Amino acid sequence: MTDKPKREGRVLPAVVTVDLVIFTVRDDALHVLLIERGKEPFLGSLAIPGGHVRDNETLDEAAGRELSEETQIDSEQLHLEQLHSYGAPGRDPRGRVITVAYLALGPNLPTPMAGTDAKAAYWVPVDSVLSGHNKLAFDHADILGDALERARSKLEYTTVATAFCAEPFTVSELRRVYEVVWGFPLDPSNFRRKVTRAASFIEPTGERRIAETGRPAALYTRGKAQFLSPPLLRSIDATAAQGTTAPPVQQ
């Protein structure tokens, strides 16, 4: 609705941006793409990438454009969804800025070497940010926290975990995604039973991958299912678990 009279002069025209929390799994840890700010405010601070929405594009298109600018990856390859909007009056010292945050998930991506912007970009382990010595700019720590919880819960009842895997992938690689995002180990056998019996979660290719050691693993591609029913729940007592580094791998 937009038909309120602009009485009291309190109605605001605002700047609208999109910010992206881009997650990937590398080195058995969840990483987020951060940029180093090149200007005030928060010059030199780390921040999640983003940019202005242009006047001829939808919010989703703006997010997709920023994503490919930052990662130089075909944004079709990545999972991208709107997360939440943030618009507290003081969140940007320059004025009223409403940002629509997006969550992107992708397989181990190349380090983006200075994208279209001259900003330096890095993959940073998420838990090193959250246990944060170097604080993020603006309210980006809140956004990152919300994105992490969204990702964790989406792994429970959807099939998005496959977005973290480059095709083809093995069941162990998929399990490693769950372990790294949730922060605790899963039983390999029960996990295999769950994902292979779930309808259209993963599809066998018939191929096998010869590992350096151990039995060759069967390869799979993403199935067409979007949801996991019944869900794969984080165990109730493990809900308190925190940390996003590699969980203690059971030896």
Partner DNA sequence: GAGTATTTAAGTCAATGCGACCTTTAGTAG
Partner DNA sequence: CTACTAAAGGTCGCATTGACTTAAATACTC
H/E stretch holding 207 reads strand 202-209
Using CB under 7 A as the binding rule, whether residue 189 contacts DNA is answered as yes
Binding site for a second copy (CB under 8 A): 1-4, 6, 8, 10-17, 19, 35, 37-39, 47-59, 82, 84-89, 92, 94, 96-100, 117, 157, 229-231, 233, 236, 239
Structure tokens at 102: 């997006």
Binding segment for DNA (CB under 7 A), chosen from 63-71, 84-92, 112-120, 225-233, is: 225-233
Which residues have a Cβ under 8 Å from the Cβ of 166 and sit 6 or more positions away?
Answer: 107, 108
The answer to whether 217 contacts DNA (rule: CB under 7 A) is: yes
CA 145, CA 17: separation in Å to the nearest integer?
19
Nearest to DNA of 55, 237 (CB atom): 237
Nearer to DNA, 30 or 186 (CB): 186
Report the largest interatomic distance among the alpha carbons of the chain, rounded to a whole angstrom. Answer: 72
| Closest separation in Å from C-beta 107 to a second copy | 24
Cα(47)–Cα(141) distance, integer angstroms: 9
Q: Which one of DNA, a second copy, none is in contact with 190 (Cβ closer than 5 to 8 A by kind)?
A: DNA
Residue 170, contacted partner among a second copy, DNA, none, CB below 5-8 A by kind: DNA
Q: How far is the CB of 25 from DNA (least distance, A)?
A: 15
The C-alpha angle with vertex 123 and arms to 121 and 126, in degrees rounded to 5, equals 130
> In the Cβ-directed half-sphere of 209, how many Cα atoms lie within 13 Å?
15
Residue tagged 């794969």 (tokens)? 232
Contacts to DNA by CB under 7 A = 170-172, 187-190, 192-194, 196, 208, 210-218, 230-233, 235
